[in-house]
Amino acid sequence: MTQHYLTVDSLSAGELLAVLDLADELKADRRWREDLHGCSIGMIFEKPSTRTRISFEVAIRELGGHPVVLNTGDLQLGRGETIEDTARVLSRYLSAVVVRTFAQSPLELLAGAGSIPVINALTDFSHPCQVLADLQTIREYKGHLSGLKLAYLGDGNNVAHSLLRAGALTGMHVAVASPPGYEPIPQVVGVAERHAREHGGTVTVTADPLEAAADADVVYTDVWASMGQEVEHDARLLLFRPYQVGSQVMQAARPDAIVLHCLPAHRDEEIAASVLDGDQSVVWTQAENRLHTQKALLLHLLTGGEDQRDGAQTAHLPADAPVRTPSRW
Ligand code: CP
Ligand code: NVA
């Protein structure tokens, strides 16, 4: 069966950790590989992107595959062709498709109608590729995940949703502080609480930024107005001000806490410039790790994560390709 990556819990906890282990190996050995030789991978972006788009394109090339970058305006989707028909056609050409869009439902339709893995490169609901890099970065600096406290301050948005699920799946104590009315949606908090019970972590949602930050090992924030919410920017500045990651928040956290931000950042809005550019910030490593974790994710979805450097097997190719094909096709 085709495995997709639509939300963090498209992967089991075990698969998530295996992808992180593979990402560590790929980071340690950045040599170009041929695992995805013969694979064309579509990338459809309906919103701007620096990190996700470039890191996926580079990841596909470094694994020997061929990225096919598309804007929805270039596709017949923009003229009314259905998502399901698009999925059926893409499945005849491509080995996987990476999509950044607004709602989560088009991804589910693509996944349901097509026969290739669909990867969520950000929706309004979730950003599961981002949190793979976040977890790799936390492990890199802290050595482990389970038992750590992660404090997320700000909007209960796509990034917060994915962090809640990923943190809980890996046994972290995740505390989210958001202004009233901007909390993560209860359905996501409920799923995260279930994961936390199963994996030994906890989930806290509060309006008090210092409660969330208290003794945190990891302090995380994201923009206050996400893509598509630009008109709300000025109103949100006032409301979110107490949630800025600044010196008071950093004093509440552990002295050895690291600071993460998915980027792009707005200095002196959601994060003080002195914190973003300070010693505890690891955001540039976090951005680099988008590349390694997405390479690992592609290998997991397309080859089962096996090392294919000896050329024993070729990763997913369209059905009639004249090579030995894995059983999922
Ligand atoms: N963090 C992130 O997804 O960045 P981009 O929007 O630049 O891809
Ligand atoms: N929450 C932000 C994340 C950007 C990577 C947004 O959706 O714009």
Residue type, 142: K
Quick one: which ligand is closest to 98's CA? 1
Confidence (pLDDT) at 322? 32
Question: What end-to-end distance do the CA atoms of the chain give, in Å?
Answer: 8
Which atom number of ligand 1 is nearest to the Cα of residue 47? 6
pLDDT of 328 > 60? The answer is no
3-state SS track over 77-95:
HHHCCCHHHHHHHHHHHCC
**Residue 262 CB–ligand 2 contact under 6 Å:** yes
Told to judge if 127 belongs to the known catalytic residues of this protein, a careful annotator would answer yes
Q: List pLDDT tens digits, range 57-111.
A: 999 999 999 999 988 788 998 889 999 999 999 999 999 999 999 999 999 999 9
Q: List pLDDT tens digits, range 163-196.
A: 999 999 999 999 999 999 999 999 999 999 999 9
From 262, 286, 292, 308, the catalytic residue: 262
Q: List pLDDT tens digits, range 204-243.
A: 999 999 999 999 999 999 999 999 999 999 999 999 999 9
Confidence (pLDDT) at 91? 97
pLDDT of 276 > 90? The answer is yes
Q: Residue 280 — pLDDT band, cuts 50, 70, 90? A: very high
pLDDT of 150 > 60? The answer is yes
Q: Are residues 216 and 245 in contact, defined by beta-carbon separation less than 8 angstroms?
A: no
Question: Hey, what are 233's tokens?
Answer: 């920017």
Told to judge if 236 belongs to the known catalytic residues of this protein, a careful annotator would answer no
Q: pTM here?
A: 0.93
